């Protein structure tokens, strides 16, 4: 059923499933966009942590509560 709904909305089923899980944990506030800018020293600390501990971009984003994880990939 989730695959059918995801397809009808034009999103990957994994994206849809993650959205459902997030909603179940955090209610509708999970869909409120957060606009956060990170200072250069903070970005450097996060980058050093990722390199030192060999964590993935997704793991590091989760540890530092940086949504979405692409923020780390893009360096924003």
Residues 69 and 46 in one domain: yes
Average pLDDT over residues 58-69: 72
Using pLDDT thresholds of 50, 70 and 90, give the confidence band for residue 75. low
Give yes or no for a contact between 6 and 12, defined as CB atoms under 8 angstroms apart. Answer: yes
Residues 22 and 48 in one domain: no
pLDDT at site 60: 78
Contacts of range 48-57, beta carbons closer than 8 Å, 24 or more positions apart: none
Using pLDDT thresholds of 50, 70 and 90, give the confidence band for residue 26. low
Residues 47 and 69 in one domain: yes
Domain that holds residue 65: 40-74
User: How would you label 6-25 residue by residue, b for 16+ Cβ within 10 Å and e otherwise?
Assistant: beeeeeeeeebeeeeeeeee
pLDDT at site 32: 72
């Amino acid at each position: 059923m989730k695959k059918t709904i995801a397809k009808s909305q034009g999103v990957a089923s994994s994206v849809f499933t993650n959205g459902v899980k997030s909603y179940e944990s955090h209610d509708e506030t999970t869909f409120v966009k957060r606009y956060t800018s990170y200072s250069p020293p903070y970005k450097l600390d996060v980058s050093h942590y990722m390199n030192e501990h060999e964590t993935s971009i997704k793991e590091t984003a989760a540890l530092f509560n940086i949504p979405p994880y692409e923020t780390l990939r893009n360096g924003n």
